[in-house]
Amino acid sequence: MNIFEKCESNVRSYCRNFPTIFHRAKGSIVYDESGQEYIDFFAGAGALNYGHNHDYIKNQIISYLNADGISHGLDMYTSAKEKFLAKFNETVLTAKQLDYRIQFCGPTGTNAVEAALKLARKVKKNPGIFSFMGAYHGMTLGSLAITANKGIKAGTIGTLNNVTFMPYPYGFMESFDTIKYIDSVLNDVNSGIEKPAAIIFETVQAEGGVIVAPIEWMQRLRKLCDEHDILLICDDIQVGCGRTGAFFSFERAGIVPDMVILSKSISGYGLPMSLLLIKPELDIWEPGEHNGTFRGNQLAFIGATAALEYRESSSLELDVKEKELFLKEFLNQEIAAISENIIIRGIGMIWGIDVQNFGGKNFAKSITSRCFELGLIVETAGRNDTVIKILPPLVIDMFTLQKGCLILKQAFKDCLQN
Amino acid sequence: MNIFEKCESNVRSYCRNFPTIFHRAKGSIVYDESGQEYIDFFAGAGALNYGHNHDYIKNQIISYLNADGISHGLDMYTSAKEKFLAKFNETVLTAKQLDYRIQFCGPTGTNAVEAALKLARKVKKNPGIFSFMGAYHGMTLGSLAITANKGIKAGTIGTLNNVTFMPYPYGFMESFDTIKYIDSVLNDVNSGIEKPAAIIFETVQAEGGVIVAPIEWMQRLRKLCDEHDILLICDDIQVGCGRTGAFFSFERAGIVPDMVILSKSISGYGLPMSLLLIKPELDIWEPGEHNGTFRGNQLAFIGATAALEYRESSSLELDVKEKELFLKEFLNQEIAAISENIIIRGIGMIWGIDVQNFGGKNFAKSITSRCFELGLIVETAGRNDTVIKILPPLVIDMFTLQKGCLILKQAFKDCLQN
Amino acid sequence: MNIFEKCESNVRSYCRNFPTIFHRAKGSIVYDESGQEYIDFFAGAGALNYGHNHDYIKNQIISYLNADGISHGLDMYTSAKEKFLAKFNETVLTAKQLDYRIQFCGPTGTNAVEAALKLARKVKKNPGIFSFMGAYHGMTLGSLAITANKGIKAGTIGTLNNVTFMPYPYGFMESFDTIKYIDSVLNDVNSGIEKPAAIIFETVQAEGGVIVAPIEWMQRLRKLCDEHDILLICDDIQVGCGRTGAFFSFERAGIVPDMVILSKSISGYGLPMSLLLIKPELDIWEPGEHNGTFRGNQLAFIGATAALEYRESSSLELDVKEKELFLKEFLNQEIAAISENIIIRGIGMIWGIDVQNFGGKNFAKSITSRCFELGLIVETAGRNDTVIKILPPLVIDMFTLQKGCLILKQAFKDCLQN
Amino acid sequence: MNIFEKCESNVRSYCRNFPTIFHRAKGSIVYDESGQEYIDFFAGAGALNYGHNHDYIKNQIISYLNADGISHGLDMYTSAKEKFLAKFNETVLTAKQLDYRIQFCGPTGTNAVEAALKLARKVKKNPGIFSFMGAYHGMTLGSLAITANKGIKAGTIGTLNNVTFMPYPYGFMESFDTIKYIDSVLNDVNSGIEKPAAIIFETVQAEGGVIVAPIEWMQRLRKLCDEHDILLICDDIQVGCGRTGAFFSFERAGIVPDMVILSKSISGYGLPMSLLLIKPELDIWEPGEHNGTFRGNQLAFIGATAALEYRESSSLELDVKEKELFLKEFLNQEIAAISENIIIRGIGMIWGIDVQNFGGKNFAKSITSRCFELGLIVETAGRNDTVIKILPPLVIDMFTLQKGCLILKQAFKDCLQN
């Protein structure tokens, strides 16, 4: 591992928790250079909903490469983009009766978040944004300003403005009506807090510790935005693309955000790609007003189209339902049963085991380390990394899912004995 | 072209100048769906220095895909990253006696710029940054704040702080000593302008209109930063990776910046990738303090390694020298000769034809449109898009280069007749 | 009134509510040019606690003028300042066992608020300030940023940063534990809200609508600041100098703020003056780091010294107690009795009649207009100016106080009949 | 001096340079408690243009006090304000054919500066302000942001935004065309610097070191503002009220700013007062949008009216002309003759002896200290306090002026011998 420690910046992180060199992967299994295999309950932090190197998608990409398809096309028109647009429009937007314009942003989630903020500010001529306590939206300056984690802002001195963090229904903030709090702040001429251009939210705060927003809360948030003429932006980067069951995570509340951000699993193959969906009347961008060299990552378009084709031909949403039930039952019966101080939260195929009051950060870390020794990749999230986050590929087979869960259970057993 | 206009955001831009659907590409030639071929003097805005779909690189990528190599690995250790680090360290850093730590940022130039700004602010505990008039650094909030173009900031109301734009030696600003200006501002206790954490610069302002900084100016800038204890950051996104001749564009001045940003052509195949090079003593990041889902774009690592291997086996730097001489002579003799109001600027294989005082924006646009009709892709840059920017792949063969230049000459002729 | 409308800026305000030209005043009575007299229940918005043109103070000022005492001395040492310092130190600080350094700021409340903010930020090297919903602290940029009223910020676009408004126990915000809210925000690493340098508060939000902070709330606020190492600043501009009974309004909670701001009535005669009291260990100002031409308003020093002498020789605090009881009883029995939708709030000699739910702004305005016709000066405050604010000079005699109250009652009667 | 050191904040400054307790003053002479007399070449930093305790003004103030005139009236209409408005309108505005609305701000220069900035931002819906290197405008947050002195901003971390400092014709910045620089920055779409709402300037940078703007420079600045639709604000706090000869210092250039700020000597007696003059079409304030308890300092209105009456009855402007000639000749012949490294700058009755290249800060300090020993009060200003600033009352008699100058000369002699 010498070359990494010698040459790579100290900023590297996940590699510290999974100290081996990974080499090959297929579906839900990753192999390191020594051939050791690991079940993947992390799935590229949500970028691998279709598993590693999905064969159907892979074949489309290789064919495209072989045919010398455009590999880099800025934002020019290409055959690859044409096919993706047609497929996404047909199988996602039209199918769900959603009317959005599609913006291809620089191929990272944070870039699409930045585009959304700029557009909201431009539309409303108002710099204010409300974000939520617990929120995670990315690491570039605009996105970082709306990210709640205070531990990662040493390099931002005095540059994060115009953002107000509102209570999300979690912890003490769950003990009162958070929507009424926001409404009260907006209605009170003397609250000191100006009406924002937009409110940005996650339906499940994934990095925040797998906190699932109640359906009624989301519906009231949508209503509040309508009443106050505020744009509602859904950051669906980590829990979109089927993670909670439906393609979009907000579908369960029957609401329609004004903008939606997709990234991570959209390319189907872990390739960099992001989309910003914009209600047509808000699409007041000037040509080139937001741009970027890689906003046309063509291989990702190929992957994304193939992934949508795969969705059509499979029963993925139903499968997720089934695995959700299994995970929910397993975690509640096998893990929560260990102590009333362990809290289970989740939906679809994103679940958190909150051990904040059961050993905290060190305990969570010892569990994930033990899992790795036993052949399972799983990470922590949330306040002080006290939530073990279960995030398998959606396509994982039941046998491997169960096997991974048993390793998790074993890790708890082992760590509690020490 | 229906689906694009129906579904894609109004923000799309280059596609408007090149109204066809591109399908296939090889080397310096791009083909559209109808089979029409175009010589590429744009090269993905500098992302395709090695041309389209370079065979050596392509084969490495396909092999990797076939072997189910890791396609998405966050920032974990992988075989692909290991090989890239070793190769980059050997053939670039060690070969040039440069001592930098490598940070893999989110795979876009702007993301690496954001990382550099955050690190500079963190190191110096000072939010101030000096940037230059004419500068272009990207579209996320931090990068946009240091980008000089005022036309693209409608969505940033009140959020761009702590940045001071300094004169770059161009236009009226060339009529006095700009380095002395900066020095004077820093020395004067009563200038109102605080010492910044860092000064960020481009050795050639490419988007700014192909303005080449004099060697002595860069040397004095480095000295000024040393004297005032300010970090010097070189944004080498567009003109690095050999565009000006040497791998890094600052090598011609014999200076060593404190941080260097690479992106665009680093992957060799137009795949999203970016690097931030950091002097070891500045690498004070906490693990994970800057992160991102796609900072480990494995296919790009494969491409980048192959590209470095190709460099080793070719005479690319010498070839660029030869083509530079050709371009310089051609542009001065065939184009500048048309009028004393046409100005030619450039270095290596980035050249600008400034027609600000010869028809301006409309004329520049008519030239590039005519070029496209005649089978040449070329774009404008600079103030009001009045500079025609010549940016062929570095690997273009002399015959195609000449052919492209003749189209350019023809376009001038045609446009002057109308 | 021609000359005012012709020459004075549209920004003029109180003159619109009291449309006459005032000429002369004594104690609690003001006379206009026609000789008409008005009982003053406004007292210069709290600047005339000792009434108009108090004879003892006036005589000191005239003597000083006659003797050609220094009238303007910047911040040089003068006999007038010497005497004030000795008297304030003896009768206020030493008497109350308070250890503060005294800063003479530019002679306005807002200037002292600005000084307090700058010092807090300097001491803690942290730009953050928490202020409260409903707060009023002044109109210069720093003070305005911590003032909650959203209606007066049209000229501040994008310049109000680093301030977070916290819930004050009023309205919906009273329905949960606001101190616990603040504590939770500070403890949560993922709340998005950084620890501030200071929390600034008023013990009674006067402009906010006469909202009196509970004693326990203030004690818990002080404790919270101690636990989190945050400075506590009390803005005692409007309700200090005896308005609530004791000289400082925070004395009733037995707490000691880290900084205290006094202005308005401190000079005893309505002359511009302000003080910032600073705990000695926080007094890290460099000489001249905050300055101002009029920070040595010598006539105000003479007035302030005389006012303190008057306090010593009178039973002012006891008198205020007696009048507080009268006002409380009168307002509750005679005004609140009109409707359960009328709310009475207050302490000492600052009382509010909240008619937000009883006719609102228009009704409040009609009451004060009718009062003026009947010979009583009284103003509104609070959200949408729906609170009639009773603020007589502390020295008002009982007969005049009763007479004023009867006018108020009559105004309610008259307005309800129309 | 015990009580000062014991009780007063460390921020006190001038008192350190003039270590005695002042007691009484008349005209150009100040007396300390021991009876020692000092000639005053400082004049309250420009607040005492009419000298100390001018008898005519004093008598008006005492009469007003004796008659129980309103001493504090917020911004209500009062007889005192009425008379001032009429007199100012007649003898200043109408006489000079200027059409301005008058805003009574909080009674300090910085407060009027804050009002001007807010109004400019409101009018232009643009937060940007250009200020100049060397500028001094005050110490509250808005004013401090446009003040160039970097040594006094420790308490402002990250709060000073939207201000750009432009070169003022001084030092290196005098070696090129500073107006063309500003014009170039505004015209260049790629300069990174947005068009501001306003440019604020001093015709003489007094605190900046007595730097007198050339007449042509001011005329071109006015023209530039017209061409770019930018408001021009003149801060005439220190050099207005006749200091340079005419009542307004900008009269010598024949220009009319869009807003003008007056304070310091406007009250005629050193009492706190400030005015903002606003072109009528810009007076879009809402009532009360900028306010303040002491914006109606009635004693100052009495003083200001009396001062204007005195001006009418005297030959002040002619007298200043005569004394200007004397000072110019004396300083050039007696002081500048000492060394070519001593530079004399000035106009009217504000003059600077720049010793930056002749001993610097320590030498300047030793001169003013020696002056004080010899009975002359004189201060330093400028970069590192290297400019001895000569600022006598305008009404000083020739004999005293000469006497003060001789002391100054003696101090140079004494300091050079040591």
Query: DSSP assignment of D159-206, as one string?
Result: ---SEEEE--SSGGGGGS-HHHHHHHHHH-TTSS-PPPSEEEE-SEET
- Chain B residue with minimum CA distance to C159: B158
Beta strands at A204-205 and A211-212: parallel, antiparallel or unpaired: antiparallel
A114 touches chain B (CB under 8 A): yes
CB A44 within 8 A of CB A391: no
Reported confidence tier of residue C155, pLDDT bands at 50, 70, 90: confident
The hierarchical CATH code for the domain A2-54+316-417 is 3.90.1150.10
CB C311 within 8 A of CB C70: no
User: Which residues in chain A are closer than 8 Å to B281, comparing Cβ atoms?
Assistant: none
Please determine, for residue D215, whether its predicted confidence score (pLDDT) is greater than 80. yes
Of D127, D158, D171, the CB nearest to B158: D127
User: Which residues in chain D are closer than 8 Å to A157, comparing Cβ atoms?
Assistant: 157-158
What is the residue whose two structure tokens read 């002729």? B413
What is the rounded distance in angstroms from the CA atom of residue C399 to the CA atom of residue A295? 79
Helices C79-88, C298-313: inter-axial angle, 10-degree rounding: 30
User: Which residues in chain A are closer than 8 Å to D159, comparing Cβ atoms?
Assistant: 158
- What is the per-residue pLDDT for C1? 54
Average pLDDT score over chain B? 96
What is the rounded distance in angstroms from the CA atom of residue A76 to the CA atom of residue C50? 77
Instruction: Convert C175-187 to b/e letters by CB count within 10 Å (16 or more is b).
Output: ebbbbebbbbbbe
Please determine, for residue C157, whether its predicted confidence score (pLDDT) is greater than 80. no
- Chain A residue with minimum CA distance to B157: A127
Counted across chains A and D, CB pairs separated by less than 8 A come out at 6
Report helix, strand or coil for A126: coil
- What is the per-residue pLDDT for B162? 86
Reported confidence tier of residue B387, pLDDT bands at 50, 70, 90: very high
CB C413 within 8 A of CB C406: no
- The answer to whether the Cβ–Cβ distance between D159 and A158 falls below 8 Å is yes
Of B148, B180, B190, the CB nearest to D133: B190
- Chain A residue with minimum CA distance to B31: A70
A329's CB contacts (< 8 A; 6+ apart) are none
Site from D72, D152, D289 to mutate, C interface, most C CB atoms within 10 angstroms: D72
What is the arithmetic mean of pLDDT over A316-344? 97
User: Which residues in chain C are closer than 8 Å to A208, comparing Cβ atoms?
Assistant: 190
- What is the per-residue pLDDT for C327? 98
What is the rounded distance in angstroms from the CA atom of residue B130 to the CA atom of residue B117? 11
Please determine, for residue D158, whether its predicted confidence score (pLDDT) is greater than 80. no
CB D205 within 8 A of CB D131: no
- What is the per-residue pLDDT for D294? 97
The region, left, alpha or beta by phi > 0 then psi within -120 to 50, assigned to residue A296 is beta
What is the arithmetic mean of pLDDT over A346-368? 97
Instruction: Tell me the per-residue pLDDT of A175-213, one tens digit each, with 9 for 90 and over.
Output: 999 999 999 999 999 999 999 999 999 999 999 999 999
What is the rounded distance in angstroms from the CA atom of residue A168 to the CA atom of residue A188? 20
The hierarchical CATH code for the domain D2-55+315-417 is 3.90.1150.10
Instruction: Tell me the per-residue pLDDT of B230-274, one tens digit each, with 9 for 90 and over.
Output: 999 999 999 999 999 999 999 999 999 999 999 999 999 999 999
Instruction: Tell me the per-residue pLDDT of C114-131, one tens digit each, with 9 for 90 and over.
Output: 999 999 999 999 889 999
What is the arithmetic mean of pLDDT over B263-286? 97
D161 touches chain B (CB under 8 A): yes
A360 touches chain C (CB under 8 A): no
In terms of pTM, does the model score above 0.90?
yes
Q: What is chain D's length?
A: 418
DSSP H helices, A314-342, are 316-330
Radius of gyration of the CA atoms of chain B, in A: 21
- Chain C residue with minimum CA distance to A176: C176
D157 touches chain A (CB under 8 A): yes
Domain with CATH 3.90.1150.10 in chain A: 2-54+316-417
Reported confidence tier of residue B383, pLDDT bands at 50, 70, 90: very high
What is the residue whose two structure tokens read 């109250």? C405
Domain with CATH 3.90.1150.10 in chain B: 2-54+315-417
A79 touches chain B (CB under 8 A): yes
What is the rounded distance in angstroms from the CA atom of residue B302 to the CA atom of residue B83? 8
Of B163, B171, B191, the CB nearest to D148: B191
**Nearest Cα residue to B308 out of B105, B60, B79:** B60
Q: Which two tokens stand for residue A125?
A: 């001529």
Give me the DSSP letters along B243-297: TTSSSSGGGGGT---SEEEE-GGGGSSS----EEEE-GGG--PPTTSS--TTS-B
- The answer to whether the Cβ–Cβ distance between A157 and D159 falls below 8 Å is no
- Chain C residue with minimum CA distance to A190: C149
Cα distances from C399 to residues A77, B261, C396, C406, in angstroms, run: 87, 80, 8, 11
- The answer to whether the Cβ–Cβ distance between B192 and D133 falls below 8 Å is yes
Instruction: Tell me the per-residue pLDDT of C21-75, one tens digit each, with 9 for 90 and over.
Output: 999 999 999 999 999 999 999 999 999 999 999 999 999 999 999 999 999 999 9
- Architecture label for domain C2-54+315-417: Alpha-Beta Complex (3.90)
Percentage of chain C surpassing pLDDT 70? 100
- Residue B339, CB half-sphere, CA atoms under 13 Å: how many? 12
- The answer to whether the Cβ–Cβ distance between C10 and D119 falls below 8 Å is no
| CA angle, C188 then C189 then C191, to 5° | 60
Percentage of chain B surpassing pLDDT 90? 94
Instruction: Tell me the per-residue pLDDT of D72-125, one tens digit each, with 9 for 90 and over.
Output: 999 999 999 999 999 999 999 999 999 999 999 999 999 999 999 999 999 999
Reported confidence tier of residue B71, pLDDT bands at 50, 70, 90: very high
What is the residue whose two structure tokens read 């564009």? B249
- The answer to whether the Cβ–Cβ distance between C157 and B158 falls below 8 Å is yes
- What is the per-residue pLDDT for B1? 54
- The answer to whether the Cβ–Cβ distance between C68 and D157 falls below 8 Å is no
What is the rounded distance in angstroms from the CA atom of residue C197 to the CA atom of residue C103? 20
- Chain B residue with minimum CA distance to D137: B192
- What is the per-residue pLDDT for D1? 54
Q: What is chain B's length?
A: 418
User: Which residues in chain D are closer than 8 Å to C22, comparing Cβ atoms?
Assistant: 70, 73, 76-79
Domain with CATH 3.40.640.10 in chain B: 58-313
What is the rounded distance in angstroms from the CA atom of residue D307 to the CA atom of residue D310? 5
- What is the per-residue pLDDT for C38? 98
Report helix, strand or coil for A334: helix
User: Which residues in chain A are closer than 8 Å to B7, comparing Cβ atoms?
Assistant: 85, 88-89, 93, 101-102
Beta strands at A198-201 and A231-235: parallel, antiparallel or unpaired: parallel
Residues 177-196 of chain C whose Cβ lies under 8 A from any Cβ of chain A: 180-181, 184-185, 188-194
Please determine, for residue D375, whether its predicted confidence score (pLDDT) is greater than 60. yes
What is the arithmetic mean of pLDDT over C83-100? 97
Strand pairing partners for C198?
A: C129, C231
Compute φ and ψ for D232, nearest 5 degrees. Answer: -110, 120
Please determine, for residue A301, whether its predicted confidence score (pLDDT) is greater than 70. yes
What is the arithmetic mean of pLDDT over B21-38? 97
Instruction: Tell me the per-residue pLDDT of D234-248, one tens digit each, with 9 for 90 and over.
Output: 999 999 999 999 999
The region, left, alpha or beta by phi > 0 then psi within -120 to 50, assigned to residue B371 is alpha
**Nearest Cα residue to D270 out of D44, D19, D11, D8:** D44
- Architecture label for domain D58-313: 3-Layer(aba) Sandwich (3.40)
What is the rounded distance in angstroms from the CA atom of residue B345 to the CA atom of residue B204? 10
Domain with CATH 3.90.1150.10 in chain D: 2-55+315-417
What is the arithmetic mean of pLDDT over C318-330? 98
Average pLDDT score over chain C? 96
Measured from the Cβ of residue D316, the count of other Cβ atoms closer than 10 Å reads 18
- The answer to whether the Cβ–Cβ distance between D147 and B192 falls below 8 Å is yes
